[in-house]
Amino acid sequence: MTPPVLQKSLPFAPWMDPAAWRLPGTQPLDPSTWLVTDDAFGQQMALRERLIAEKLEEVHALLPAAKAAAQECLTTVLRFLPNLAGYVLEETSVTRPDGARVAIDRAMPLITIGRLIQEDVCLILPGADEHILGGAILCFPASWTLSQKIGRPLMRIHAPVPKYDADVGRRVQRLFDAIRVDRPLWRANAHLEDDPDLFAQRHEDEPHPRKSAAPPYLRSERQTLMRLPESGAVVFAIHTWMVAVASLSKEQQDTLGAVRAQYKT
Q: What are phi and psi of 257, to 5 degrees?
A: -55, -45
- Amino acid identity, position 69: A
User: pLDDT tens digits for the chain (265 residues)?
Assistant: 678 999 999 999 999 999 999 888 999 999 999 999 999 999 999 999 999 999 999 999 999 999 999 999 999 999 999 999 999 999 999 999 999 999 999 999 999 999 999 999 999 998 777 889 999 999 999 989 999 999 998 766 755 555 556 666 677 778 788 899 989 999 999 999 999 999 999 887 777 667 777 899 999 999 999 999 999 999 999 999 999 999 999 999 999 998 988 876 5
The C-alpha atoms of residue 185 and residue 227 are separated, in whole angstroms, by 10
The C-alpha atoms of residue 9 and residue 244 are separated, in whole angstroms, by 8
- Amino acid identity, position 260: R
CA atoms within 13 A on the CB side of 49: 13
Dihedral in degrees, nearest 10, Cα atoms 79, 116, 219, 211: 160
